Amino acid sequence: MTEREQLDGRQASKTVLVVDDNDDLLSLIAESLRKLGHYTVVTARDGAEGLERYFEARPDCVVIDVKMPKLDGYQLVKALRGDPDSSATPLVILTAMVQDKDQLAGFLSGADEYLTKPIGPLELVRAISDVLGRSEAERRQRQQALLEHLERQERQEQQERGEGN
């Protein structure tokens, strides 16, 4: 079975909510997910609208930008993780924020994946497929391991700068 056939099998009848305040990018991502991933796509243009759309559509996965008006991506992730009806939904941050501290903040907020822009459409489809293929226990275990790694890295960088003891 090819990777494409494996991806298609995991994506059948899955819904992805994409939340981004850049209309052009939102349209491009939505179209890519529909055509390449065969997903049903719902969109929102800010975090508050994303929260509303989540409870209307009940998506299988949410792709979230960080810098948005009304409710930023980290706040949206925390809100979804804090509600029992949405806490198990895979959440993927897709942002232009590339620093380690940003990635740490994303994982600390509860994201399952932290991807940076620009990203190729197939890479995004693959990442969504991967996160949808993980059990909740696998996602939590992976998130914990990533957090521990990022925290160690942050402590090491602080020590190298002479900030930590």
Q: Which residue has the higher pLDDT, 13 or 73?
A: 73
The rounded percent of the chain whose pLDDT value lies above 70 is 91
Residue 133: closest CA among 37, 36, 34, 32: 37
Question: What is d(CA 126, CA 143) in angstroms, rounded to the nearest whole number?
Answer: 18
What are the sequence ranges of the domains in the chain? 3-160
The tens digit of pLDDT for each residue in 74-131 reads 999 999 999 999 999 999 999 999 888 888 888 888 999 999 999 999 999 999 999 9
Contacts of 105 (CB under 8 A, 6+ apart): 74
Q: What's the burial of 109, exposed, middle or buried (CB within 10 Å: 0-12/13-18/19+)?
A: buried
SS3 label, residue 92: strand
| Whole-number Å distance between alpha carbons of 127 and 125 | 6
164 pLDDT band (50/70/90 cuts)? low
Q: Quickly tell me which residue has 């380690």 as its tokens.
A: 100
Report how far residue 7's alpha carbon sits from residue 28's, in angstroms, rounded to the nearest whole number: 20
Q: Which CATH superfamily is domain 3-160 in?
A: Response regulator (3.40.50.2300)
Distance CA 79, CA 97 (A): 20
Nearest to 47 by CA among 22, 78, 70, 79: 70
